[in-house]
Amino acid sequence: MKAVKYAFVAATVFVLLAVSFFYSRREAESVVYTRQLMGTVVELTLMDGEAARFDEAAEAAFSEISRLEGIFSSYRDDSDVARINAAAGEGLVDIRPETIEVLREALLVGSISDGAFNPAIGALGKVWGHSGEKGEVPPADEIKKLLPYVDLAGVLLREHESQAGLKRKGMAINLGGVAKGYIVSKAASVLEKKGVTKAIIHAGGDMLVFQRNGDKPFIIGIQHPREKKLLGEARVYNGAVATSGDYERFFIKDNVRYHHILDPRTGFPSKGVQGVTLMAKDPTEADALSTAVFVLGPEKGMALIEKLKDVEGVIVDENGRVTVSSGFQGKIY
Ligand code: ADP
Ligand code: MG
């Protein structure tokens, strides 16, 4: 009998309330748009700006998200990711400018996290599924055979030539831990171009808030990784909030929780952390770093957060113990 359950809970952080009534000028009515994209629910809350164009702005943002999803997806044969993987061991392929940006961030976070974040994790997709969706525990020896292909140094990026590649056949990249943050930032640019001056963009564990002349922060609720309650709140004026958790995509087998964030050293779901929420200026950085900190664990993960400028965060370890970074602006209940 297969005692495997696959669970998927989309929303991990959400906005508690956005204080608007103190403004001297009346804001537009907030309008919320939702769409199923990138394997999650994308929610756009348009709060101020040219309200008559909100529908058009949301539509344009959704099409941009959909276009970018096609570039980074591990599930589509014609994505840049799939083309790089198909050519593994056979040289470099031409990639789009967007892929250069995402790969650059992936390699940077890979390097500052000592390989805890590793885009070459794609080699393990064969046995776990690209985001753990196979729902079965692969034999340990099969995983062991794949580990040499989870090789950060074997991911080649030639920015000037707009090319990327993988050193050896059997290697593969997966940008699932960083692309969503990048896509959220691009969606925000589209909204701003369409006259939106204040908005919340939320896609699974990645969120970005912006406001052009705001003097009040957004208050963002941080979901508790185990209980149906909030862990706390964060105050953010403009910036990103990213969450990585073992409660988003997982299955339980023989009382062990198998989730979608893998430890590149073992090839198994990483241990020690239940959830990480990070605040940073840039959503791409926040997304990759939250995955990195999750893998690094509470001590090394918090040390990395403290080392980085303008990055703050909250880590809940495997026993439910909460650690908060020194500059965290918010409240843990
Ligand atoms: P989500 O995508 O659910 O918001 P994360 O941002 O934490 O959560 O990214 C998890 C995804 O990142 C996985 O589904 C997988 O595609 C990829 N991934 C898993 N482990 C790693 C890792 N150690 N380094 C880089 N990417 C990873
Ligand atoms: Mg991430």
Say how far apart CA 329 and CA 324 lie, in whole Å. Answer: 10
Is 113 within 8 Å of 304 (Cβ atoms)? yes
* Domain-embedded: residue 211: no
Q: Using one digit for the tens of pLDDT, what is the confidence trace for 239-269?
A: 999 999 999 889 999 999 999 999 999 999 9
Place of tokens 């650059």: 104
In the prediction, which pLDDT does 24 show? 47
In the prediction, which pLDDT does 2 show? 33
* Domain-embedded: residue 160: yes
In the prediction, which pLDDT does 28 show? 79
* Domain-embedded: residue 292: no
DSSP assignment of 267-319: SSB--SEEEEEEEESSHHHHHHHHHHHHHH-HHHHHHHHHHSTT-EEEEEETT
Pick the closest to residue 126 from 71, 92, 85 (CA basis).
85
Q: Does the Cβ of 260 fall within 6 Å of ligand 1?
A: yes
Task: Classify 142 as helix, strand or coil.
Answer: helix
Say how far apart CA 21 and CA 87 lie, in whole Å. Answer: 55
Say how far apart CA 201 and CA 215 lie, in whole Å. Answer: 19
Pick the closest to residue 270 from 74, 118, 103 (CA basis).
118
Q: Using one digit for the tens of pLDDT, what is the confidence trace for 125-155?
A: 999 999 988 999 999 999 999 999 999 999 9
Measured by CA distance, the residue closest to atom 5 of ligand 1 is 177
At residue 313, does pLDDT exceed 60? yes
- For residue 93, the surrounding DSSP H or E stretch is strand 93-94
* Domain-embedded: residue 157: yes
Average pLDDT over residues 145-166: 98
Q: Using one digit for the tens of pLDDT, what is the confidence trace for 262-291?
A: 999 999 999 999 999 999 999 999 999 999
pLDDT cut 90: percent of the chain above it: 89
Say which ligand is closest to the CA of 113.
1
Measured by CA distance, the residue closest to atom 8 of ligand 1 is 244
Instruction: Kindly report which listed range (16-20, 54-58, 95-99) carries the lowest average pLDDT score.
Output: 16-20
Say how far apart CA 193 and CA 275 lie, in whole Å. Answer: 34
Burial profile 47-73: b = 16 or more Cβ within 10 angstroms, e = fewer: bbbebeebeebbebbbebbeebbebbb
Ligand 1, pocket-test mutation among 73, 79, 131, 243, most atoms within 8 A of CB = 131
In the prediction, which pLDDT does 52 show? 97
Q: Does the Cβ of 177 fall within 6 Å of ligand 1?
A: yes
For residue 131, the ligand 1 atom closest to its alpha carbon is: 14
What distance in angstroms lies between residue 39's CA and the mean position of ligand 2's atoms?
Answer: 14
Q: Using one digit for the tens of pLDDT, what is the confidence trace for 177-187?
A: 999 999 999 99
Name the H helices within the chain.
54-72, 80-86, 97-112, 125-128, 140-146, 179-193, 283-296, 298-307
Write down the pTM of the prediction.
0.93
Pairing of strands 239-245, 273-280: antiparallel
- What is the count of structural domains for the chain? 1
In the prediction, which pLDDT does 16 show? 56
Say how far apart CA 198 and CA 119 lie, in whole Å. Answer: 33
In the prediction, which pLDDT does 49 show? 96
Task: Assign 213 a pLDDT band (cuts: 50, 70, 90).
Answer: confident
Task: Assign 214 a pLDDT band (cuts: 50, 70, 90).
Answer: confident
* Domain-embedded: residue 51: no
pLDDT mean across residues, the chain: 92
Q: The domain containing residue 148 runs over which residues?
A: 80-166
At residue 18, does pLDDT exceed 50? no
pLDDT cut 70: percent of the chain above it: 92
Average pLDDT over residues 34-40: 97
Average pLDDT over residues 228-240: 96
Task: Classify 330 as helix, strand or coil.
Answer: strand
User: What's the Cα-to-Cα distance from 320 to each of 224, 227, 284, 328, 331, rounded to whole Å?
Assistant: 9, 10, 27, 19, 17
CATH code of 89's domain: 1.10.3980.10
Is 241 within 8 Å of 286 (Cβ atoms)? yes
Q: Does the Cβ of 243 fall within 6 Å of ligand 1?
A: no
In the prediction, which pLDDT does 248 show? 83
The first and second tokens of residue 129, run together, are 């599924």
User: What's the Cα-to-Cα distance from 281 to each of 36, 128, 220, 278, rounded to whole Å?
Assistant: 25, 32, 15, 10
Is 46 within 8 Å of 191 (Cβ atoms)? yes
Average pLDDT over residues 53-63: 98
* Domain-embedded: residue 115: yes
In the prediction, which pLDDT does 20 show? 39
User: What's the Cα-to-Cα distance from 120 to each of 38, 66, 318, rounded to whole Å?
Assistant: 20, 24, 26
What distance in angstroms lies between residue 293's CA and the mean position of ligand 2's atoms?
Answer: 9
